């Protein structure tokens, strides 16, 4: 398959929806959850969909229960939640996996086309892929954003990256506004995509150790020392 529009996904009603239906639109593809700290982002997503829909834009929501079991409901419960709490009108699809061997083919494609700091892995709920699809091959225009709110902050944010940054929401060095942008890491002059955390002043990155897991099933990480150069890809020359 060569582009986003070649995939099919089931709606909450169980109908197979060819994504070719959205050809020519700018898409914001989001993995959602009903019991997450980021769940109020539904409001901003719906506002964005309403404001830009007439100009050829659509949000596509994909419920997922892989992060803290925060989307436990069935399709009917998810639809009821979205309708009653946020009056969602943008397309919502059936619950899927976004990581692992059972990840939906669309997400396998998106992650391979535009990896973030964690490489081909989604870190948490409300990770966003924006795809400017009109008149060009979709995957080449994919941009990945971690779970920060959708607003105009990214257009006015400082281009100064912090000395230390973590992708773990529980870490004191986690910064959702920074991670909402497309952050790249050069380590010893080489691009790295499996970085969990970095520190410029101390000269190290913490990276995932392949497929290894700890006794709780979490990915093992290792700290590697060397020169670290974080940058915003959209500002790179």
Q: Which residues are catalytic?
A: 36
Q: Which residue segment(s) compose the domain that 218 sits in?
A: 153-235
- Let me know whether 56 and 121 are in one domain: yes
- Let me know whether 96 and 213 are in one domain: no
How far apart, in whole angstroms, are the C-alpha atoms of residue 46 and residue 41? 9
- Let me know whether 158 and 177 are in one domain: yes
- Let me know whether 167 and 216 are in one domain: yes
Q: Say which residues have a Cβ less than 8 Å from residue 131's Cβ, sequence separation at least 6.
A: 4, 26, 27, 28, 29, 138, 139, 141, 142, 143
Map residue 20 onto helix, strand or coil: helix
- Let me know whether 112 and 226 are in one domain: no
Q: Which of 85, 113, 145 is the last residue of a domain?
A: 145
Number of domains within the chain: 2
Confidence of residue 154 (pLDDT cuts 50, 70, 90): very low
- Let me know whether 126 and 41 are in one domain: yes
How far apart, in whole angstroms, are the C-alpha atoms of residue 140 and residue 125? 23
Q: Which of 78-82, 149-153, 197-201 has the lowest mean pLDDT?
A: 149-153
**pTM above threshold 0.75:** no
The CATH number linked to 61 is 3.40.30.10
């Amino acid at each position: 398959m060569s582009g986003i529009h070649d995939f099919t996904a089931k709606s909450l009603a169980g109908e197979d929806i060819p994504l070719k239906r959205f050809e020519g639109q700018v898409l914001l593809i989001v993995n959602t959850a009903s019991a997450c700290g980021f769940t109020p982002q539904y409001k901003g997503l719906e506002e964005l969909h309403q404001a830009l829909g007439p100009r050829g834009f659509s949000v596509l929501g994909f419920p997922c229960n892989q992060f803290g079991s925060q989307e436990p409901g069935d399709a009917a419960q998810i639809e009821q939640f979205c309708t009653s709490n946020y009056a969602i009108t943008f397309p919502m699809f059936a619950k899927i996996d976004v990581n692992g061997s059972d990840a939906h083919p669309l997400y396998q494609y998106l992650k391979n086309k535009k990896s973030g700091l964690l490489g081909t892995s989604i870190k948490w709920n409300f990770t966003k892929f924006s795809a400017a699809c009109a008149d060009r091959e979709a995957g080449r225009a994919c941009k990945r954003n971690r779970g920060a709110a959708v607003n105009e902050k990214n257009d006015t944010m400082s281009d100064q990256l912090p000395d230390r940054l973590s992708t773990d929401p529980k870490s004191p060095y986690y910064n959702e506004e920074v991670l909402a942008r497309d952050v790249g890491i050069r380590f010893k002059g080489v691009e790295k995509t499996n970085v969990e955390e970095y520190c410029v002043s101390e000269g190290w990155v913490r990276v995932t150790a392949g497929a290894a897991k700890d006794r709780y099933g979490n990915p093992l990480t290792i700290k590697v020392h060397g020169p670290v150069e974080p940058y915003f890809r959209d500002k790179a020359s």
